[in-house]
Structure 1
Amino acid sequence: MASRNILVINCGSSSIKFALINEDHGAATLQGLAERLGSPEAELRWQQGDAKDSLMIPDADHRAALAQLLPRVQQAAGGALHGIGHRVVHGGEQFTSACRIDAAVLEAIGSAAVLAPLHNPANLQGIEAALAVFPDLPQVAVFDTAFHQSLPEHAFRYALPESLYREQGIRRYGFHGTSHRYVSQRAAEMAGLAYDDSCWLVAHLGNGCSTCAVINGQSRDTSMGLTPLEGLVMGTRSGDVDPNLHGHLARTLGWDLPRIDRLLNHESGLKGLSGLSNDMRSLEQAREQGHAGATLAIEVFCYRLAKSLAAMACALPRLDGLLFTGGIGENSALVRSKTVAHLQLLNLKLDPAANARCVRGVSGTIQAEGHPRILVVPTNEERQIALDTLALLPN
């Protein structure tokens, strides 16, 4: 049977990130971004191999952008497109794995929008547009939260009145599940271990960051919670703060909830600490030039990351390895070095030369000889979504 092609779509409120994945090839056949949708500056950009191109699509909405994308996808796929996989941020407690999209699934995604008001409506908009443009193709929803539905109750419950959980669904859900699952599987392969008999600490570090404890292929704890704001210091998100900060800012500065939400989600994290940027590459350059804010931001980021990894270790019966992934995790030897330096109690130690070598897509082991395994594992969420989609298609 000829190898199959899956179009992976990740929709934001004014953007569509896409990749055409062939089941027999690691790299995307075609990938790109439609951005600034709904505005006169709307643009479709794509790359196939080394060739890059773009097209202005003024005032295009999601459906119009997908209609422009369709012939390019069909051509790149040789006319054989077998299905579409959609990234959906929040599946609530209803979805523990990927599923074929039907009316009931659409309704459930909409119902979960109260838990992810910035993400699920946009994901739903993209799905509805794709269903209109590709009505005859099987379409699958893959949820960021699904991998973490294996958390035990003592890990996912907040210390709040039970009615808030039973009636409002207020609990820890976790995110980045597709990435945590992909890299822990890859790590098991790289280490020659059975995935269903392996234990990993995973650090997914990008503009959004989270840690996860993966035991025998299942998530047992993770740093993000009800929303993606909980946990680590991130690009512009604060991560954990005193829960009463909201009340303090309201009383002392007169700030309302939207203003406080904007502070915690868009003005904090690396950007807020440094007063400079949310980009780790820029901060590392500024640190080398003596910028105090950049230096502090990196120190706080790494210390808080190490604290979270140490906490995640509580869930593990043993440690087969610590994994770094995501844009920062895969490319910042400095962040890996500073983080591991805080984890001496777990006997973790880096080989400086190996650590320096693992950047720009290079994977491998970076631990010092005689110390527990530490791996850099590039993530590939698009491929994982494609594989999940293929698994639900008829043979």
Structure 2
Amino acid sequence: MKILVLNCGSSSIKYALYNMDDNSVMASGGAERVGLDGAFVKVKLPNGEKRQVMHDIPEHTEGVKFIFSLLTDPEIGAIKDLKEIDAVGHRMVHGGEKFNKSVVLDDEVLRVFEECSDLAPLHNPANLKGVKAVSELMPGLPQVGVFDTAFHQTMPKHSYLYAIPYDLYKEYGVRRYGFHGTSHRYVSQRVCEFLGVNAADKKIITCHIGNGGSIAAVDGGKCVDTSMGLTPLEGLMMGTRSGDIDGGAITFLQKKLNLDADGMSNLLNKKSGVAGVSGVSSDMREVDAAAQEGNELAKTALDMYNYRIKKYVGAYTAAMGGCDIIVFTAGVGENQSSMREEVCENMEWMGIKLDKEKNSAVHGEEAVISTPDSKVTVVVIPTDEELMIATDTMNLL
């Protein structure tokens, strides 16, 4: 069975074609600058070769159509005919309280999903465009939606409610939803397979640390808390997002800077975080290099970044009444050994003993990086959200 995974953003379309007989990736890549000048598609072939193909992509239907043409291209294609594709799985960002699991997409599901667009005005409409593009180009092909927010729908009320008038939750759905759910679900399951343990009796903290970052507390296989909130802005300090900040500081700055709501959102989402504090970049590699060269603000940004991860690990250990496993994943989590060391430093009180030598050697591979006598097992597990989407899609057919 061959499953195509699509992740449609506001100006991008990522894709991966899976052969589910062995979970292998037959082709992958992404269209960038959709709707803008200079659009192109990056293509990664099974042999590891990479190509970049320039192509005008005025909107998503044209983008999906061009990706389909690349998949069947005589020279760089992975299949001979589009009929070889059995289904398409879509990353759907915000399912609100409507979806707690992946579903086959039909008119009613899409109608309900569209009602959630107020909660993710940039992402949900783009997701819908991808679905409609496939429907137009390959009518009748089964499509499945896999929601970023679904895994977190097991949170109890005391975890997801904000301390604001309850009517605002009932009227507008203002609550913690959480994101990166497909990644948190994948690594919390995969780490148990990797360690040969049963998820049902394990307390796991999953740290998805990338340009965007979030942490989840997973007790017995179910999410009981997560750091992102109504939007992906809350929680950890991120590449350009502020993370947790006093609401009073927001209104104070709005008045001082004479910003409207959109201006304040732009400041907190795109000009803050590691980039805003360091003044260097949102790329942790560049910030780390600057810190090593003596840039004090870069050092401060790294200290803040690592401290907030450590703080959430401690908080979720308390919330679950213990912790058996900590998982690091995503771009920074999988590759930046210095961050992992800083987070685990002075955490012996909760049973963490890091093998510093092993940790420094692990980059983007599955590995235990704690010592054999550590009460908490610390593990690096590369995330694979696309495989999770493909697997959900296959299981629903």
Fold agreement, TM-score > 0.5: yes
Q: Contact (CA 8 Å) 1:331, 1:358: kept in 2 or not?
A: yes
Question: Is the 1:306–1:342 contact (alpha carbons within 8 Å) kept by the matching residues of 2?
Answer: no
How far does the alpha carbon of each residue in 1:21-64 deviate from its partner, in whole angstroms, 9 at most, with x for none?
A: 22234442111111111223111221112222232222432111
**Residue from 371, 379, 383 that aligns with 1:379:** 383
| Aligned-residue CA RMSD (Å) | 1.4
SS in 2 for 1:29: strand
1:30 and 2:27 equivalent?
yes
Q: Residues of 2 paired with 1:15 and 1:119: CA distance?
A: 11
2:190 matches 1:190: no
1:362 equivalent to 2:373? Answer: no
SS of equivalent residue, structure 2 residue 268: helix
Equivalent of residue 55 in structure 1, options 40, 53, 56:
53
Residue among 136, 140, 145 paired with 1:132 = 136
Query: How far, CA to CA, are the matches of 1:62 and 1:220 in structure 2?
Result: 36
- 1:229 positional shift: 0.3
* 2:207 counterpart SS class: strand
- Where does residue 70 of structure 2 map in the other structure? 72
Task: Point out the more displaced range, 250-259 or 287-296.
Answer: 250-259
Q: Deviations over 1:160-183 (max 9, x none)?
A: 111111111111101100000100
Deviations 1:2-35 (A, max 9, x none): xx11111111111101111222344421111111
Q: Distance in 2 between matches of 1:263 and 1:26?
A: 41
- In structure 2, the residue matched to 1:307 is 311
Distance 1:189 1:388 in 2: 18
SS at match of 2:25: coil
CA distance in 2, matches of 1:298, 1:39: 34
Q: Shift of residue 264 of structure 1?
A: 0.3
Q: Does residue 13 in structure 1 map to residue 16 in structure 2?
A: no
Q: Judge conservation of contact 2:7–2:15 (CA < 8 Å) in 1.
A: yes
Counterpart-to-counterpart distance in 2, 1:251 and 1:327: 37
Distance 1:71 1:55 in 2: 12
Q: Which amino acid aligns with 1:326?
A: A
Q: Percent identity?
A: 43
Query: Aligned to 1:219, what secondary structure does the other structure show?
Result: strand
Name the counterpart of 1:40. Answer: 37
Q: State how many pairs are aligned.
A: 389
Equivalent-residue separation in structure 2 for 1:107 and 1:320 (angstroms): 41
Map 1:260-339; keep pairs closer than 5 Å.
Answer: 260-339=264-343
- Asked if structure 1 preserves the Cα contact closer than 8 Å seen for 2:183 and 2:208, the reply is yes
**Structure 1 segments unaligned to the other structure (5+ residues):** none
Q: How many Å apart are 1:313 and its aligned residue?
A: 1.5
Match of residue 87 from structure 2? 83
The answer to whether the 8 A contact 2:353-2:373 is kept is no
Partners of 2:58 and 2:44 in 1: CA distance: 20
Structure 1 residues 133-166: Cα deviation after superposition (integer angstroms, max 9, x where no partner) = 1222100010000000000111111111111111
Q: Give the superposition deviation at 1:283.
A: 1.2
Q: Structure 2: which amino acid aligns with 1:52?
A: K
Unaligned 5+ segments in structure 2 are: none
Q: Please give the TM-score of this superposition, normalised by the length of structure 2.
A: 0.95
Q: Relative to 1, partners in 2 of residues 1:336 and 1:186: Cα closer, same or farther, differing over 3 Å? A: same
CA contact 1:6–1:386 (8 Å) conserved in 2: yes
* Residues in 2 aligned to 1:325 and 1:305: alpha-carbon distance in whole angstroms: 13
Deviations 1:80-124 (A, max 9, x none): 211100001100001000001111111122110111112111111
TM-score normalized with structure 1 length = 0.95
Shift in Å, 1:342: 4.7
1:166 matched residue in structure 2: 170
SS of the equivalent of 1:214 reads strand
Residue identity in the other structure for 2:382: P
Counterpart secondary structure, 1:391: helix
> What are the within-5 Å matches in structure 2 for residues 95-244 of structure 1?
95-244=99-248
In 2, distance between residues paired with 1:357 and 1:24? 33
Q: Which moved more, 1:311-320 or 1:36-45?
A: 311-320
**Separation of aligned partners in 2, 1:53 and 1:136:** 31
Question: 1:252 matched to which residue of 2?
Answer: 256
Amino acid at match of 2:371: A
